[in-house]
């Protein structure tokens, strides 16, 4: 029996600004939202509203005060983005449609910010800036998906927490065709998003099959196997936080404050992708190291 997912995210792999700033504020708000009967989806939509307003603020990046407001609105979005998940887990209202909505709200936030900056830069750089922003957005989507898989994988294998993704949700579940049309569409979108995450993260099916077989072969050794997994992969997952939305928020703020937000798009394409490639290479090495240590144990 796998333990239920806790209200707060796993602290040992959490990004430092989330751990000490964003999530403590979200945790303070969450029980108050629950007491007011606010639905998690409403919190997601409120966060998206802050994100869209941030895009409007960043459109006037040439005024420094608007950059500061845009940054503050992005922080508000981060808080809401943390609170919606906590509220869903606290009130037991997790659902595929809620996860899809949460993902949509995240992407709409960054689309609004990228579009706000691109539209402000277009008079100086022409239509090329829109192509640059679109390329940066595509890279962002792939990198974010890869980072989220690392977290899900750690929680599933390291802590034994229930995860629809690693329990086989990308495959069509039994009875899916009998769901109401709305639920069926949400389920389809959720599984498509999970496939994108797996592809971006380079998920190794062979590794998962081998680890699953090791856990099934010796249930009495499962605690030791999971402990070995945590010791091997926790530092790695913390490094993957370099691809989290927090650092994009900070990067956008710093480049916009310097008056050169176009360079953020270039950094998204080349800088973050270089980090992704390094992390993927290190991850493959850790897979091999993990089984070597497991065999010794």
Answer yes or no: is pLDDT of 9 > 90: no
Selection from 138, 104, 108, 133 nearest residue 119 by Cα:
133
What's the pLDDT score for residue 198? 57
Going from N- to C-terminal start, the domains of the chain cover 11-296
Largest distance between two CA atoms of the chain: 66
The dihedral over CA atoms of 234, 79, 142, 173, expressed in degrees to the nearest 10, equals: 80
Distance, C-alpha 123 to centroid of its chain: 33
Burial of residue 146 (number of CB atoms within 10 Å: 0-12, 13-18, 19+):
buried
Cα–Cα distance for residue pair 22/35, rounded to 1 Å: 21
Neighbours of 189 (CB within 10 A): 17
Determine the CATH number of domain 11-296: 1.20.120.1760
What's the pLDDT score for residue 191? 63
Cα–Cα distance for residue pair 202/235, rounded to 1 Å: 18
Are 262 and 125 in contact by the 8 Å Cβ rule? The answer is: yes
Residue 262: pLDDT band with limits 50, 70, 90: very high
Greater pLDDT, 157 or 5: 157
Q: Collapsing DSSP states into helix, strand and coil, what is residue 164?
A: coil
The pair of three-digit structure tokens given for residue 267, joined into one six-digit string: 């950094």
Query: Region 5-21: what's the mean pLDDT?
Result: 80
Cα–Cα distance for residue pair 275/244, rounded to 1 Å: 12
Q: Is the dihedral of CA 185, 49, 164, 279 positive or negative?
A: positive
pLDDT digits (tens, 9 = 90+) for 191-239: 665 665 555 555 566 777 788 888 887 777 888 888 888 988 899 899 9
Greater pLDDT, 244 or 199: 244
Answer yes or no: is pLDDT of 8 > 90: no
Q: At what angle do helices 181-201 and 128-153 cross, to 10 degrees?
A: 90
**DSSP code string of 236-295:** HHHHHGGGSHHHHHHHHHHHHHTT-THHHHHIIIIIHHHHHHHHHHHHHHHHHHHHHHHH
pLDDT digits (tens, 9 = 90+) for 85-104: 899 989 988 877 788 888 88
pTM for this model (two decimals): 0.83
Q: Tell me the backbone φ, ψ of residue 163, rounded to 5 degrees.
A: -140, 115
Cα–Cα distance for residue pair 48/214, rounded to 1 Å: 42
∠ CA 253-47-79, nearest 5°, is 70
Answer yes or no: is pLDDT of 130 > 80: yes
What's the pLDDT score for residue 3? 39
Query: Region 288-297: what's the mean pLDDT?
Result: 78
Residue 110: pLDDT band with limits 50, 70, 90: very high
Residue 159: pLDDT band with limits 50, 70, 90: confident
Answer yes or no: is pLDDT of 2 > 60: no
Cα–Cα distance for residue pair 161/74, rounded to 1 Å: 30
């Amino acid at each position: 029996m796998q333990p239920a997912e806790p209200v707060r995210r796993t602290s040992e792999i959490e990004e430092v600004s989330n751990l000490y700033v964003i999530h403590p504020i979200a945790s303070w708000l969450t029980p108050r939202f629950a007491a007011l009967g606010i639905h998690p989806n409403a919190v997601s939509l409120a966060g998206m509203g802050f994100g869209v307003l941030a895009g409007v603020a960043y459109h006037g990046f040439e005024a420094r005060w608007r950059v500061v407001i845009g940054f503050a609105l992005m922080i508000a979005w981060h808080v809401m983005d943390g609170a919606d998940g906590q509220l869903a887990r606290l009130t037991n209202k997790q659902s595929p449609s809620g996860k899809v909505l949460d993902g949509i709200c995240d992407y709409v936030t960054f689309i609004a910010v990228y579009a706000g900056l691109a539209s402000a830069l277009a008079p100086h750089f022409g239509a090329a800036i829109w192509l640059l922003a679109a390329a940066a957005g595509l890279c962002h989507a792939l990198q974010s998906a890869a980072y989220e898989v690392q977290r899900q994988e750690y929680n599933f294998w390291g802590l034994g927490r229930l995860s629809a993704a690693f329990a086989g949700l990308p495959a069509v579940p039994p009875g899916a065709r009998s769901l109401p049309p709305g639920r069926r569409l949400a389920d389809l979108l959720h599984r498509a998003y999970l496939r994108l995450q797996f592809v971006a993260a380079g998920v190794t099916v062979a590794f998962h099959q081998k680890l699953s077989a090791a856990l099934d072969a010796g249930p009495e050794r499962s605690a030791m196997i999971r402990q070995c997994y945590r010791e091997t992969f926790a530092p790695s997952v913390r490094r993957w936080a370099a691809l989290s939305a927090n650092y994009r928020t900070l990067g956008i703020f710093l480049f916009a404050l310097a008056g050169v937000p176009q360079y953020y798009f270039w950094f998204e394409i080349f800088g973050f992708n270089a980090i992704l490639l390094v992390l993927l290479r290190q991850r493959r090495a850790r897979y091999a190291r993990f089984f070597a240590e497991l065999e010794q144990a």
